[in-house]
Amino acid sequence: MSEQAQKIWGECLEYVRNRVPAQTYDTWFAPMRAISVDENNLFLQVPNKFFYDWIESHYKPLLEKAVTEVTGNGLNVKYTVLLSDEVRAKDDGPEASYSNAVETNVKTGLLEHGSKLNERYVFDTFVEGSSNQFAKAAAMAVASAPGRTSFNPLVIYGGTGLGKTHLVQAIGNEAIASGRVRRVVYVSSDTFTLDFIAAIQKNRTTEFARYYRSVDMLLLDDIQFFQNKEQTQEQFFHIFNDLYQHHKQIVLTTDKPPLELRGLQERLLSRFQSSLTVDIQPPDLETRIAILQKKASDDGLDISFEVIEFLSVNIRSNIRELEGALIRLLAYSSLMRVDIDLPLAQKVLREILGTRPASGISIENIQSVVANAFRMNLDTLVGKGRSQEVAEARMIAMYLAREHTNLSLKSIGLYFGGRDHSTVVHACKWVEGRLQEDAKFAERINALRRNLNPA
């Protein structure tokens, strides 16, 4: 860390500390670190993307004012996201800096997504409970002897937001860290399909197959989205066989048991069914409390046990919703400049706990139904993707959330990657306009409504 950058940032923090509540300072400013400084820019390191988005949307003027007061010349503030001990800040804007820090690509000619493993997804950060104990044990066994156990392939299934992605990536991270494998590829079924389509268009299917057959471990998320994609299934079948015959480890996740999957080739299903299949169930109360306590500890948050217990008792469906509630509570505390206590938690979460419509339709249900209808996974729906299909699916999901829940615009935005409430307003207006102009579009929306189920 540059001493000059550290000195400047230290003075900026003092400026900020005197102008925001202690909870806000500790949550959003204390974790930031100065990386370097030059004549035009001050480079800061933030813990994650959500952190960067929040700082940019809510505290950018305050930070600019602080830098101007300290330096006298108003340096540009640029960011990079912490992913390792050697994160480099790029001199090409905040969003590009974030992208460059996150995307450590290994170019292969056709495919450029590398392993795509999130280094925060390791076994040590996976909170074990009775609902996932067997799945974690199987995953650790596979990671300790990839391709050399009878657990090949390993199939992990369970509902949305229960930790499947964390567990499957922990296998890859452990296997790499121990040196047991060299080439690991983690990929969603969406990305696999898009890669295959691109290979067909460019007449490079041989290169596509060679890439996937060259890996030591293939981690494939959400295989249910292969349903009814005949050519993709055919290609995957041959890749699967080649990896299996060469004792390369395969790990798959899905939202339901293989026997319940429809639209998959029988020969694929028979291979899945002959493997070890483990499930992850919704966590019990003790596990939910442990998850929130660990998250608060890892992020350096001072939250009382009574608040954590309150969240854990009342939010039971999945881990993603539980963590989303914690983020919403932090956001409200920061915006309103008040400390987090039980009355605040009760107030902020009342819309989740007591004011949902009688139908009981949750935003997670809406996201799942829309993602399935557009044949994409949840991370794609709520992520940064801006393709026409992804953007349309996201706007429809936001519209249905506004229609079927009592969540505020700001809360809906938080469930879609921390987006601003104005994005939700735009989405609702766009869908309403299409409903009036396009009868087929209206039929599609009505079909989605019929698929929404009470919680």
Q: What is the pLDDT of residues 407-435, one digit of tens each?
A: 777 778 878 877 878 899 899 999 988 98
Bridge partners (DSSP) of residue 184 are: 217
Are the C-beta atoms of 155 and 275 separated by less than 8 Å? yes
Residues whose CB is less than 8 angstroms from the CB of residue 140 and which lie 6 or more positions away in sequence, other chains included: 123, 174
Residue 166 has pLDDT above 70, yes or no: yes
pLDDT at 115: 56
Are the C-beta atoms of 281 and 158 separated by less than 8 Å? yes
Residue 98 has pLDDT above 50, yes or no: no
Q: Confidence band (pLDDT; 50, 70, 90) for 135?
A: very high
Q: How many CB atoms lie within 10 A of CB 389?
A: 12
Residue 228 has pLDDT above 60, yes or no: yes
- Is the sign of the CA dihedral 155, 157, 161, 163 positive or negative? negative
pLDDT at 453: 65
Buried b (16+ CB within 10 A) or exposed e, 266-291: eebeebbeebbbbbbebbeeebbbbb
Residue 112 has pLDDT above 70, yes or no: no
Residue 49 has pLDDT above 90, yes or no: no
From 139-143, 170-174, 381-385, 408-412, the region with the lowest mean pLDDT: 408-412
From 74-83, 117-126, 136-145, 268-277, the region with the lowest mean pLDDT: 74-83
DSSP 228: T
pLDDT at 169: 92
pLDDT at 127: 85
pLDDT at 389: 92
Instruction: For residues 397-412, give the mean pLDDT.
Output: 82
Mean pLDDT of the chain: 80
Residue 394 has pLDDT above 90, yes or no: yes
pLDDT at 352: 57
Are the C-beta atoms of 143 and 175 separated by less than 8 Å? yes
pLDDT at 4: 86
pLDDT at 351: 57
pLDDT at 439: 87
From 38-42, 387-391, 421-425, the region with the lowest mean pLDDT: 38-42
Q: What is the pLDDT of residues 269-327, one digit of tens each?
A: 877 777 788 998 888 888 888 888 888 887 777 788 888 888 887 777 678 778 778 87
- Answering whether pTM is above 0.85, one says no
Can you tell me the distance from the alpha carbon of 7 to that of 295, in angstroms, rounded to the nearest whole number? 30
Q: What is the pLDDT of residues 3-38, one digit of tens each?
A: 888 889 999 999 998 888 877 788 788 888 888 888
Q: What is the pLDDT of residues 443-452, one digit of tens each?
A: 899 889 888 8
Closest by alpha carbon to 238, among 206, 204, 195, 216?
A: 206
Are the C-beta atoms of 268 and 238 separated by less than 8 Å? no
Helices (H), 79-203: 94-102, 133-144, 164-177, 189-201
Q: Confidence band (pLDDT; 50, 70, 90) for 100?
A: very low
Residue 406 has pLDDT above 90, yes or no: no
From 133-147, 325-339, 393-407, 419-433, the region with the lowest mean pLDDT: 325-339
Domains and CATH numbers, the chain: 3-102 (3.30.300.180), 123-280 (3.40.50.300), 285-327+343-352 (no CATH), 363-451 (1.10.1750.10)
Q: What proportion of the chain, given as a percentage, has pLDDT over 70?
A: 87
Transcribe 103-115 into DSSP letters.
------SS-----
Tokens describing residue 361: 């339709």
Q: What is the pLDDT of residues 137-152, one digit of tens each?
A: 999 999 999 988 888 8
Residue 158 has pLDDT above 60, yes or no: yes
Instruction: For residues 365-378, give the mean pLDDT.
Output: 90
From 73-87, 200-214, 224-238, 277-291, the region with the lowest mean pLDDT: 73-87
